[in-house]
Amino acid sequence: MKLHSKRLLSIWDHHTYSAHKKKIKKPIDGLFIFQSLFSVEAFASRPAQNLTTQLAKRTADALLEKVRALRNDINQQHRKLINDCDSEDIREIIVNEPIDVAVESRHYTPASVMLMKVFLSCDAYFAALYQARMEGELTETEMQHHRTNTTVQLDELLRNVHRTCLSFHKVRKEAEAKT
């Protein structure tokens, strides 16, 4: 996965890309949620069809729907921006070189790949916002407002998925302890 935005890089992997001097010990970042989504999907793909497997399948489906909904929302905002702006690109905008983010392909599941697509959609949207700003379609304040709103939505998704994964594992452990 390649990202241009330094902000998105730090949201994806706090330990590697954050500019903060003091690192958070257990950040809820994209990489952590990527692994959490894989964990739920791993339980959902068990061959045994018991209660915990059924719970894992329902949880995995619900998580996929949440992540996909945000991706669709960001893509809709991006399309609206493109439709609202003049289609003539007057200046060639130089963006940061993309940074290749290493992601373990063995952890690819429908939900974890969709999370990657959310980050890629945000990155494309941020580039379009910058392009619109440089061509006078948006003010600096408007651009920052859109970026902040998108970042807040992404952060809310990560925290929501984290809570759901924690709840799933708590219920799963309780159910496995009873059997």
Express each pLDDT in 86-119 by its tens digit: 766 666 666 778 899 989 999 999 999 999 999 9
What rounded mean pLDDT belongs to the chain? 90
Tell me how far apart the alpha carbons of residues 6 and 11 are, in angstroms, rounded to a whole number.
Answer: 9
Q: Tell me the average pLDDT across 129-147.
A: 94
What residue numbers bound the domain in which 92 lies?
Answer: 2-178
Q: How many domains does the chain have?
A: 1
pLDDT of residue 94: 66
Q: In Å, how far from its chain's centre is CA 141?
A: 24
